[in-house]
């Protein structure tokens, strides 16, 4: 907290050190709130998936839910890449579920129980890591499958010969921007949504601090807006996870099918 009685909308993004662990190459590695919530997300995901492992012919509700998620990603991979995309479904599925779980945990109303949730995906170190991982896989798969022919990605079909000096440059730039756009989109969407909610919350607190009349006049519409924005943020949590997975699958399609 910046000052007593004031809400700092950025404070929620601070990673708190919980305890030190060890040093790697001069850098200290600590157990942090971010680490804790990532572990929670991984465990929740694991528990969720265990419910889908009954492998019944006629599935129960939980199994249907799990199979709904796997089927969603499988069909997306099949639609965007084709049968060869099946090999990469585990990676894209892990990415989608991990990001979705982290986004949703960040929105969970755990403050009611005295626990402050932390949105791991609001940090570009995390989104950047995942984006670079996706980009690296695209590069490795592309060069491994097509060798130097992979560079023909920068010359789209039907490029007129007199534009050959320009189009590859544009394509190269758009290709190199991919990991940044991938990382920034998720980080910005998560950060902006949470800042917005904190700002509206601070309106209520500041209004009440000024006078009860102002507090009611400002607080009630702010609260109504916050309810709506919370719903919107849930949508954004799903959409951003989906967009990350979708773009990864589209980039993988470039690397696998090359045009």
- Interface positions with another protein (CB under 8 A): 10-11, 13-15, 17, 20, 24, 26-32, 34-35, 38-39, 41-42, 45-46, 49-50, 52-53, 55-57, 66-67, 70-71, 74, 89-91, 93-94, 97-98, 120, 122-126, 129-130, 133, 187, 191
Q: How far is the CB of 245 from another protein (least distance, A)?
A: 12
Backbone phi, psi, residue 25, to 5°: 55, 45
Helix (H, G, I), strand (E, B) or coil at 145: helix
- Cα 218 from Cα 230, distance rounded (Å): 18
DSSP of 49-115, one letter per residue? HHTTTT--SS--HHHHHHHHHHHHHHHHHHHHT-GGGGGGHHHHHHHHHHHHHHHHHHHS-GGGGT-
Q: How far is the CB of 207 from another protein (least distance, A)?
A: 26
HSE-CB for 217 with a 13 A CA cutoff = 7
Nearer to another protein, 62 or 151 (CB): 62
Q: How far is the CB of 85 from another protein (least distance, A)?
A: 12
Q: How far is the CB of 43 from another protein (least distance, A)?
A: 9
Nearer to another protein, 57 or 213 (CB): 57
Nearer to another protein, 138 or 204 (CB): 138
């Amino acid at each position: 907290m910046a000052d007593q009685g004031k809400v700092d909308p950025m404070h929620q993004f601070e990673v708190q050190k919980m305890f030190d662990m060890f040093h790697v190459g001069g850098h200290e590695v600590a157990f942090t709130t971010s680490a804790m919530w990532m572990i929670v997300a991984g465990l929740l995901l694991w528990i969720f998936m265990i419910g889908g492992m009954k492998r019944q012919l006629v599935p129960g509700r939980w199994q249907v839910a799990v199979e709904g998620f796997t089927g969603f990603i499988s069909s997306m991979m099949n639609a965007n890449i084709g049968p060869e995309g099946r090999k990469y479904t585990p990676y894209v599925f892990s990415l989608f579920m991990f990001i979705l779980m982290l986004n949703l945990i960040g929105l969970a109303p755990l403050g009611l129980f005295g626990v402050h949730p932390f949105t791991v995906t609001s940090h570009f170190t995390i989104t950047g890591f995942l984006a670079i991982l996706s980009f690296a896989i695209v590069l490795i798969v592309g060069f491994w499958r097509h060798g130097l022919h992979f560079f023909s990605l920068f010359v789209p079909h039907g490029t007129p010969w007199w534009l050959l000096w320009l189009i590859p440059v544009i394509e190269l730039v758009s290709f190199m921007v991919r990991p940044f756009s991938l990382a920034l989109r998720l980080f910005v969407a998560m950060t902006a949504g949470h800042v917005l909610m904190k700002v509206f919350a601070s309106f209520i607190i500041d209004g009440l601090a000024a006078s009860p009349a102002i507090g009611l006049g400002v607080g009630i519409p702010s609260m109504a807006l916050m309810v709506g924005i919370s719903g919107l943020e849930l949508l954004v949590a799903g959409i951003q996870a989906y967009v990350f997975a979708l773009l990864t699958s589209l980039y993988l399609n470039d690397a696998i099918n090359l045009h």
